[in-house]
A and B are shown apart, each in its own frame.
Chain A
Amino acid sequence: MKPAPFAYQKARSLDEAIALLSEKDAKLLAGGQSLIATLNMRLSSPALLIDINGISGLDAIALKNGSVEIGALARHVQVERSEVVAKQAPLIARAMPHIGHPAIRNRGTLGGSIAFADPAAELPACLLALDGEIEATGPKGKRSIKAQDFFKGLFETALAPQEVLTGVRLPAATKNTRTGFAELARRHGDYAMVGLAASARADGKRLSDVRLAYFGVGNTPARAKKAEAALADGSIDAAVEALDLDPHDDVQATAKVKKHLAGVLLRRVAVQLTEARQ
């Protein structure tokens, strides 16, 4: 199908984009890899598209005061090849190859993927697993939102109508940081049937601060807190047994299958979490 008619305006600055967002039925266009698909299928029909691709300074990736900061307009391919990300945000580096396909990663942006908040997308779960923060900029200035408070519901976030997601901040990895990532998809690069992003801290031979963030199991990425505690206690079997998830049936799999696959992924990721960093 073809999109319904809309007006198009290229924003030259963040201020201009924020101002344009006050217009009726205006939507931001970043990489467009989800938005344009929804336009083509007429699941969305905005009156105005505000193209923010030309705004400079929103695609930087840097290590600052112990945090990795990634600008919203950093394209997936740029994040995938970033040395800062590889060294300081290994979970993101593990996840990147699973996001879409090369042609999608060349165009799609980190900020777009997070703001779209697809429940089966990789990056929202990574942010939750890392206890990351989202930076939003609106008419009143900037604010930070914790990942756990950002994903509100199905495709629903804490962003106010006139706010622009301008970047994310993640704690930089230390030598004790452990990460794990796995997902099951029908085809490499497709949205996951079930996926798991995890982080932990190595404490001698034990793990602490285990954070298991599942995606594809509900309306938002979800932590399995009982399984986290069991894994920190040292038993993978107990963690799988304790998996506190409540997936529902979707076109890809039934809730029962998803629950089973979540356990399979937990076993895989638990092994990754116990491996020392390279």
Chain B
Amino acid sequence: MGSFGNFKNNSLMRKINNNENKAGNMKEKITALKAAFPHTIPVLTGFTFLGAAYGILMSSKGYGVGWTVLFSLIAFAGSGQYMAITFLTSVFNPLYALLMTLMINARHIFYGISLLDRYKDTGRLKPYLIFGLCDETFSIVCSTEPPKGVNKNWFYFFITLLDHSYWVLGSAIGGMLGSIVSFNTKGLDFVLTALFVVIFIGQWKTQKDHKPAIIGVLCSVICLIIFGQSNFIIPSMITILTALTIFQKGHKEENKLSKESLQ
């Protein structure tokens, strides 16, 4: 009987411990969410607008809010989704859609490379963190350290989750508006160009070394002129990589110089 009582006590204790752990986890998550939210406010405004524009655009092409939300939920790729409209409104060509997506989103490869260390010990959250690694999430994660006492993994998780939700919510709003109000949407897709121009200016202002930005624009323009509209992306990427590799030496020496001058 004694041992039975002990067993009962043990399982009861375990239950209480479990509940305490759960409460602790919950508190930890809420702290992380609270810490993450302020960093995502620019994305909240941006994604509501861009997502809504995307939803309206999809709806103007005859795609209901269901399609838009599904697409935003599983792909979560702003420029990829905008580009996909071309494939949704022309002859069915899935292979080309895949190749174009790979070309446009090839830049994500470099986001991943720069976050290898940061996302190293993120455990079971890792697949979702990588899944949600869009431009905006990357820019926050790579430039923000969680405040003291905040769980790093949950902090990055909530930045990703919030951005993902804004995008889905924004496109849902747009998809619903699109079916109610109908106005001339010609030129609305310029919102994407505007976003990239603004990101470019932001980078230009914060970065002292303008070479990478200039290389990006110049190589692309040259390849566009040589290879034409539909074939210039891969040549551009190769040219950019080559140019950056050539300039790496100069970059290293400059770094060395600036370090020496600091000392």
Query: Is the A/B pair a real complex?
Result: no
The residues of B with any CB-CB pair to A shorter than 8 Å are none
The residues of A with any CB-CB pair to B shorter than 8 Å are none
